[in-house]
Structure formats: C-alpha cells, structure tokens
Chains A and B, each alone.
Chain A
Amino acid sequence: MNLSRNSYVLALCLGGMWSIAISVLVSVAMSFLTGMAFKPNLTNSAALGVIAGLLFLHFKSKSIIIFFTILACFLLEFPNKEIIWISEDATRLQKILTYTIYSMGLMLPVATMLKGLEPGEVDRFDLETSIIRFLTGVGFIIFTVAVFVPFYVMIMTSLKSQQELLLNPLNFGIDLSKGLGLFRSYYELFSDFNFGSYLWTSLCVSILTVIITLAFAIPGAYAVARLKFKGRSAFSQAILLIYMVPMIVLALPIYIGFSMAGLRNTLVGIVMIYPVTTIPVALYMLQGYFRGLPAEIEEAGLMDGLSRFSVIRRITLPLALPALASVSLYVFMIAWNEFLLALMLLDDPAKFTLTRGVASLNSSEVPRQHLMAGAVISTLPILILFLGLERFMTKGLAAGGVKG
C-alpha cells in the first residue's frame, strides 16, 4: 500500500500541522487581547490535531468540536498535557473561550480541507486539492496577520499613555473606558506640534504637484503616443532611463543648487522639485493609455476641421479620464509620501510637510505615542483615498508602479 496516497495519512498530517498553526495563532491573539501569558504546547497540539483529522475522516461530523473543546479544557488540569498553557490569572471563562476558539479554528478548516475524501486510497487530484486548501488557509492567516499587525500597533500605540506602554508591551487591548481621552496625543499634536499646518501644507503641495505634473505630462504623452517625429522611440526609452535614476544621486546637487538659489527652506522650491520627480512616471503611464485609444476618432475630428489642440481637449482627454484619475492618484500618493527631499530641503518647522513633521517627532524627547499618532495622521488620508478609489488606484499602480 502506498502510504503517501492514503487518506488517513493525509488527514493525520494536515490535522497535525493545522493544529500547530491554530494553537500558535490563538495563543498570540489571546496574549495580545488580554496581556496575559498563553503558550502553545506544540507537541500536544499536533497530537490533538492528528486525532481530529482522523476522527473527522471517519465520522464526517463537525459536532466533534464540542467534544474537542471539553477534551482540551480537561487536559489543562494535567501538567504538561495542555494544548495551550494559560497563565493562572486567566478566568475560567477566558480559558473556556480560548479552547472553544481553538477547537472551532481547528475543526472547521480541517473539515473543509478533507471534504470529499473517503477513507482509504486517494487519487493525486484529491490529494493535491486538500494540500492546496491547507496551504491557502495558512497563507491567508500569515498574510493577513503580517499586513495587519504593524498598522494595528500604530493605532494602538497612539491611543496609549507612556506608562501603559511600558507596563505590558504584550497588551494589545485598547482601554475604551477613557472615552475621548484616548485621543489625547492627537489633540496635543494639533495644538502643540502644529500638525494642522503640516496637514494643510502637505495637501497643498500634493495637489499642486498633481496639477503641474499633468500640465507637463499630458502634452508630452500625447506627442510620444500619437505624433510622428524623429527620435520618438529614443525619447520613450530615455523616459524609462530617467525613471531609473534614484533621487539620492540627484539630491546632493539639488541641495547645493537650492542652497545657492535661496530655494532651500521654501515651499516654492518643494513645489518646483516634486513634479519633476513625477513627470517621467506620469508621462510613461499616460502615453501607454493614449496609445490604447482608437486613433480613428481623433482623425475624424481632424477631418472635421478641429485643430490638434481642440482634438486633445475635446476628444482625447474626455476619453482618457479614467487614466487621468489613476495617474493623479498615483502622483498624489508619491507627493504625499515623499520624504527624502522634504528632509533635506526643509529645516524650518513652520514649513514642514506632514512626513517631515512626523520625522521631527522621532526624538527621545517626544513620547512615542505622539510619533505613532503622527504616523496615523499621515497614513489615514492616503488610505481613505485609496479605499474609496481603489479601482483607479489599482490601475494606476499597475501601470506605473514598478517604481517604488
């Protein structure tokens, strides 16, 4: 008999591994929720997972969840037999809750993974389908946790006080009883640290950058996409090449030039330099889109006596609105998130952009909940904009976003 094609072996392996994943996940989640110690016992949980897999394969019933919850609670009473070791401080309810979540998290996905399997021999297709279901489950857990946790830490830290943070770093809970007092560090940022003005500066700079970039990039992109002239292909290659020159290489001469011209420490200088960093990207994205538009409509316009300018204004641009929206969003995002030039060119706190303002909070004198509140303030507008216009943003990123 081929062991690797036996459904019992498969159920046993998947059950064991999934149980380990779930017990670690539940322990970490419970530790963060309560601030108390929860430790997964990997050997025991693997053993229980093996049993779960085999039982389910045999009985095909999800009601063994209840049996498992009771079993796990029961095992806690014996030293070194527990699935998840729970600190003595935890209440009985918390313990039961932990094991209920664990059992459900174990059984329901295992049931899905093993769906359609019969005891005995399995064919390759069913075997791999089960393994893929297992990997999908593990993948979703890892990705979601990895993406979500840093953002949650950002928000959580900003809502706490210094003492709470040092007292128990494990406690991810938010003390809702404080009410509006939770937002103290935000209030202080706006009242004492001038963040209202930073927010306004960033908004103005970003919007101006978008407008100037489009004003330069639209005609350029149209020329590259539609008009015939010598050196057209060389030009579009040059755009790509320029796209690859890193800011840090240019930053030194720009710093020197701006110092000499007296543009350092001025917002005019910032508004002059930001668009130049985004024009090549915008031009590259837009010319790709313009090429995709049917040329016949424009030719018909030309035939009817429109000038090139009115063709662009009355035919091409309305057709390219979705592309303009995604390019605008992308440029806005670059300008809003820009950090290196703001750091080098702005020293005067009255003229900081938001990212520069957040950077200035990174000192030992400023408590870190302020730093994180600043991070949240700078992240929130762009994330809201992104979620609201996700369709455009995804397109914009996909068109030009190989740059990062």
Chain B
Amino acid sequence: MQNAAPKTLGPLSRREARFAWALLLPTILSVALVIVLPLMAIFWISFKPIALEDLRPASALVREQLRGKPKQSGDAAIIRYKIRNSSQKDPIFGITLADEIPSSLEVTEVDKRCSLKGKNLNCNLGEFEGGQRETLEIRVIAKQDYFNDNLKITDSIAKVTGRGENILTNFNFTMKNFVHVFDSAEFWTVIYATLFYTVFGTIGALVVGLFAALLLNIDFRGKGLIRGLYLFPYVAPVIAVAFAWVILFDPFSGSINALLVQMGVVETPINFFGQKPYALIMVTVFEIWRYFPLSFLFILARMQAIDVEMYEAADMDGASPFQIFWYLSLPTLMGILSILFLLRFIWTFNKFDDIFLLTGGSADTRTLTVNVYEQAFAVSNIGAGAAVAVVIFIFLLLFSILFFRFFNREEGL
C-alpha cells in the first residue's frame, strides 16, 4: 500500500507541513538566537585577542569649558574643548565635534580644523591614537546678552562622534588563545581532573543509583516517603547543598572533621575541599551524592516494568537471589544502564556549578568547564575562555556522534 501513495505532496499534506513549521517557528527562532548564534560567536571569539576590558570599544570623550572669566560686555574669552581617546591602546577614526555657540558670544577666531555656520560649530578631528588628547580653542567676545541671560557654556552639549575599531567585529585573528590553552602547564591537570570527575562521577552515580533502586524495589510501609527523601539531593538548589557540604567538611568547625578527630581516625583535621588529593575525590563524591537519585529513578522505573512471571519462573527453577539479580535483572537493565551512562557522562562532563561552588577550581579540581570561567572572568582573558569553550564543544561533538550511533541501535528510551 505504501508504494501506492503519490510521489508529490498533495495540497493537504503541504498545508500540514506549513502548519507544522509555523508551530515550530518560535522555538527555532529563539533557539537560533540564543544557542546557535552564541555557538558561532564562541568560535569567532576564540580566535580573537580580546580581554574583558576590550568589551567596551574605544570612544572619544569631550569636556567643554569657558576660560578667561569675562566680567563685562566686550571681554575676550576662550571656549576650550578637551577631547581624549577613552582607550589607551586602540585608535579612533573619523572624530567630529559639533556644538552650538550661543549668539551672545561673538566668535573672533576659529581653530583651523573647525568651521562655523551661523551658530553651529563643526570640527573635523580625524584620527586619534590610543590615549591621545587634543585641545580645541575658539576665541570669543562676550556681549551684554551673555550676562543678561546668565548663560552657561555647557547648556548646549558638545557632541563628538567617531568610531573606535570594535575588536569583536574587525578581522584581526590570532591563534594565541589556543596556544595559551594547550601550552600552559596546567592543561594536563585540567584534562585529568575532567576525566577523573566525569568517569568516576558517572559510574559512581550509576552504581549507587542501582543499589538504591534494589533497596526500594521491595514493598514496605513508608516507601513513598523514603523514595521522596532519596530524591532530595537532586531537587534542592545546588547552591544550598554545596554550601552545606562545605560547612560540614570545614577543617576548623566542620562536624565531620571533629568526629574523625574525636574517634581517633585522623590526627589533625583534613581540609577536604582545599587539599590536593582529597579535593578532587570530594567533588566526585558530591557529584555521586547529588546525581544518584536520577539513575535511581530511571532504574527503579525499569525494574518495576520487568515481568513478574520471569521472576516466578526463576524461583520455581530454584534460582538463588544473587543468581536472579545477575542472570535476570542485570541483563534486562543493561539497556537503560548504558543509555544512562552515555547521557550522564555528557552531563557530568558539562557540569560547572558544583565544582565552582565547592572549590572554585582550586587544589587541582579545575575541570574544563571551570577553566572557561577562570580564564574569561578571573584572568579576564575572554579569548582564552572562548578557546576552552571550543575545546569543550569539540569533545561534546565526539560524544554526541558516539551517542547517536548507540541511540539508533538501541531503540529504547
């Protein structure tokens, strides 16, 4: 029957397709604006020599003053414009100045860069180097009206124009950011921390989640409550639980350290989030603690969908509980476990908030994502931050290819 369908689209199905695109349009536009555009921008920025302070492009600033303090009609005075480049290193092109000279001041001499038409003064100042300052002087004679009107020279605001070259839009490119990222001594530390955190965090959360699901796969009173309680770590705001952990493990006033010392397990308190081997382990443990509820939820849902008859049959055949788990439950859970592993792997790799709040990336816990923030905002090198973001994105692309390969075979989820 399928072959009998017409090859070309009929008017009805064309209308349906149009309707579908209309429904999708808002989503496509917003996603393009906020996700696709920034993604392209990050590639662009990563090849730019740009620091945080370069975000504000150079502009010309002007200050206007009346010098000479005219006291009576006929006194000479000078209108002085001081113009400077706000940036110390970037030039500004095509600077012009426009102002209105009050008619109560008679202009006697105009700077040669300026022209006067009626009341309107127009000056063409050309190009300013970084940090360049210029002074323009217009000689005037005050008339009686000037004192009558009680004018101030700044009542008409002098306008300057000029475009500084915006470093974001020009065509200066550099490879320095990538060289900086790959060459720095800490690059391998960052990669190691990322891999350690991602691999052990993902596997840990999966295994712990599997245990929790096994615990709750039996029926007892208060099961709903326990299940709710076990989801708390995931539902609570990360900022709240991360700070609670920091306080709990504090070397000076943390309860865990006090307990360990009192029980005689350790001699002196351990700085869990500030000392080298512990910090990375602790952030990984935190990751497991916070995300085991997710794997637990998925695995439990899958477990409860397993056919009861299969278990009954195994029981009849005299299989022991461990055999049932190993030969029955685990193989049926393999599908969900591997999908969870891939998705969680990507998400742990992407994780930023947790480590940022727990250690701020100190004591060798700086993962790639924390490095983006560190480079861009702590070191103020936006270009280097963007370069790290590009490295992350390339890793992700690789993971996604793997993921979709897997997804197409595994028709589950």
Q: Report which A residues bind B (CB closer than 8 A).
A: 27-28, 31-32, 37, 39-40, 124-125, 127-129, 132, 136, 139-140, 143-144, 146-151, 153-154, 157, 165-166, 168-170, 172, 215-217, 219-220, 222-224, 227-230, 232, 235, 237, 241-242, 244-254, 256-257, 259-260, 273, 275-277, 279-280, 283, 308, 333, 336-337, 339-340, 344, 354-355, 358-359, 362, 368, 371-372, 374-376, 378-379, 382-383, 386-387, 390, 393-394, 397-398, 401-404
**Judging by beta carbons under 8 Å apart, are A257 and B38 in contact?**
yes
**Judging by beta carbons under 8 Å apart, are A248 and B369 in contact?**
yes
Nearest-Cβ distance from residue B349 to partner chain A, whole angstroms = 8
Cα A165 to Cα B153 in complex, Å, equals 63
Cα A117 to Cα B38 in complex, Å, equals 66
Cβ of B1 within 8 Å of any chain A Cβ, yes or no, is no
In-complex Cβ contact of B297 among A31, A242, A256, A397 (8 A): A397
**Judging by beta carbons under 8 Å apart, are B247 and A157 in contact?**
yes
Cβ of B298 within 8 Å of any chain A Cβ, yes or no, is yes
* Chain A residue nearest to B319 in the complex (CB): A125
Cα A235 to Cα B327 in complex, Å, equals 39
Nearest-Cβ distance from residue A194 to partner chain B, whole angstroms = 17
17 extra interface residue pairs, beta carbon distance < 8 Å, beyond A153-B247, A228-B13, A339-B357 = A37-B262, A147-B232, A147-B233, A150-B241, A217-B27, A222-B23, A229-B21, A249-B393, A250-B42, A252-B382, A256-B168, A354-B237, A375-B237, A382-B236, A397-B294, A402-B339, A402-B340
Contacts of B377 in A (CB 8 A): 344
Contact with A along B385-405 (1 / 0, CB 8 A): 110010011001001100110
A-B pairs with lowest CB-CB distance, top 5? A246-B350, A375-B240, A253-B38, A229-B17, A219-B23
Residue pairs across A and B with Cβ atoms less than 8 A apart, 17 shown, are: A28-B259, A147-B232, A150-B245, A223-B21, A248-B352, A257-B41, A277-B34, A337-B236, A339-B237, A354-B237, A358-B237, A358-B243, A372-B243, A375-B243, A379-B241, A402-B298, A403-B343
Cα A237 to Cα B405 in complex, Å, equals 12
Cα A140 to Cα B55 in complex, Å, equals 54
**Judging by beta carbons under 8 Å apart, are A245 and B243 in contact?**
no
**Judging by beta carbons under 8 Å apart, are A151 and B352 in contact?**
no
**Judging by beta carbons under 8 Å apart, are A402 and B344 in contact?**
yes
Stretch at the interface among B72-80, B113-121, B182-190, B249-257: B249-257
- Across chains A and B, the number of contacting residue pairs, with CB separation under 8 Å, is 284
Cβ of B372 within 8 Å of any chain A Cβ, yes or no, is yes
Q: Report which B residues bind A (CB closer than 8 A).
A: 13, 16-17, 19-21, 23-24, 26-27, 30-31, 33-35, 37-39, 41-42, 45, 55, 168, 211-212, 214-215, 218, 224, 226-241, 243-245, 247-248, 250, 253-255, 257-259, 262-264, 289-291, 294, 297-298, 301, 318, 320-322, 339-340, 343-344, 346-347, 350-353, 357, 369, 372-373, 376-377, 382, 385-386, 389, 392-393, 396, 399-400, 403-404
Contacts of B42 in A (CB 8 A): 249-250, 252-253
**Judging by beta carbons under 8 Å apart, are B259 and A216 in contact?**
no
In-complex Cβ contact of B31 among A144, A252, A276 (8 A): A276
Interface centre among A136, A143, A170 (most CB of B within 10 A): A143
Cα A333 to Cα B376 in complex, Å, equals 28
**Judging by beta carbons under 8 Å apart, are A223 and B321 in contact?**
no
Nearest-Cβ distance from residue A399 to partner chain B, whole angstroms = 10
* Chain B residue nearest to A157 in the complex (CB): B247
Interface centre among B168, B244, B253, B258 (most CB of A within 10 A): B244
In-complex Cβ contact of A252 among B45, B236, B320 (8 A): B45
Contacts of A146 in B (CB 8 A): 289
In-complex Cβ contact of B27 among A170, A257, A283 (8 A): A283
Contacts of A229 in B (CB 8 A): 16-17, 20-21
**Judging by beta carbons under 8 Å apart, are A223 and B34 in contact?**
no
Cα A194 to Cα B215 in complex, Å, equals 43
**Judging by beta carbons under 8 Å apart, are A279 and B27 in contact?**
yes
**Judging by beta carbons under 8 Å apart, are A249 and B389 in contact?**
yes
* Chain B residue nearest to A275 in the complex (CB): B30
Nearest-Cβ distance from residue B206 to partner chain A, whole angstroms = 12
Q: A157-B247, A223-B20 are in contact. Are A172 and B237 (CB under 8 A)?
A: no
**Judging by beta carbons under 8 Å apart, are B31 and A242 in contact?**
yes
* Chain B residue nearest to A40 in the complex (CB): B263
Contacts of A250 in B (CB 8 A): 34-35, 38-39, 42
Contacts of A260 in B (CB 8 A): 55
**Judging by beta carbons under 8 Å apart, are B34 and A147 in contact?**
no
Contacts of A165 in B (CB 8 A): 253
Q: A242-B35, A375-B240 are in contact. Are A227 and B19 (CB under 8 A)?
A: yes
**Judging by beta carbons under 8 Å apart, are B229 and A147 in contact?**
yes
Cα A215 to Cα B25 in complex, Å, equals 12
**Judging by beta carbons under 8 Å apart, are B240 and A376 in contact?**
yes
Contacts of A223 in B (CB 8 A): 19-21, 23-24
Contacts of B400 in A (CB 8 A): 241, 244
**Judging by beta carbons under 8 Å apart, are A397 and B231 in contact?**
yes
Contacts of B258 in A (CB 8 A): 168-170
